[in-house]
A = this chain, B = another copy of it.
Amino acid sequence: MTAADRAGARPVTTAATIRRLRPSDYGTVIAVIDEWWGGRPMSDMLPRLFFEHFADTSFAADRAGPLAGFLVGFLSQSQPGEAYIHFVGVRPGQRGQGLGRRLYEAFFEAASARGCTVVRAVTAPVNTGSVAFHRRMGFSVEPRQAARDGIPVAADYDGPGRDRVRFVKHLHADEGDGLLRERAMPLRGLPGDPA
């Protein structure tokens, strides 16, 4: 019996591998991204530059074929000690099996190893699955200005009409230990759209 079985998760039939994202993954990701987001046009938010220039803090999950999921993140250049997760996606058929958690943990470990103590991310308030996921991952919502359905949002954060929920997580010195181990707790719901 595996840890996932004990926790009541769907059995993971194929092991996942977390690796660095490569510029050559861009074509695969951009071809499916709108579909992964339920038809929303997402491509403009993910130009190739993130794959070319932030590859060392961005990750891919391979399971049952390449690119079951990916995470694009970077170290803040002008806010020392801060790191930022820009984009994360998991293939629809691969959700609910902890891939989002493992991608985040890989990022926390990479950010911590580079001296970061704070990780930030934002999501659209409509993406309640993403809000719940970030809370499970230990993020707090930063209160600001307005509230929508009980969630504090930064109004017009990414431009007029583009409200965002702002998340922050403080990394602790011992948090990097074993972060890449598979966890028993299953990821329910989709990691969704933190952009």
Contacts and interface: CB of A to CB of B under 8 A. Distances in A.
A1 interface: no
B78 A53 contact: yes
Nearest to A20: B78
Contact of A77 (B44, B54, B157, B159): B54
B75 A55 contact: no
Given A45-B45, A45-B47, A53 B74 contact: yes
Interface string A40-59: 00011101110011111100
Copies in the complex: 2
A38 interface: no
A84 B45 contact: no
Size band of the A side of the interface? 20 to 34
A57 to B, nearest CB: 7
Given A48-B157, A52-B76, A77-B77, 17 more contacts: A27-B156, A31-B160, A43-B158, A43-B159, A43-B162, A44-B44, A44-B45, A47-B158, A47-B195, A48-B158, A49-B84, A49-B122, A53-B78, A53-B84, A54-B78, A56-B77, A57-B78
20 contacts: A27-B156, A30-B160, A43-B162, A44-B45, A45-B47, A47-B158, A48-B158, A49-B86, A49-B122, A52-B76, A52-B84, A53-B74, A53-B79, A53-B82, A54-B78, A55-B78, A56-B77, A56-B78, A57-B77, A57-B78
Interface of A: 27, 30-31, 43-45, 47-49, 52-57, 74-79, 82, 84, 86, 122, 156-160, 162, 195
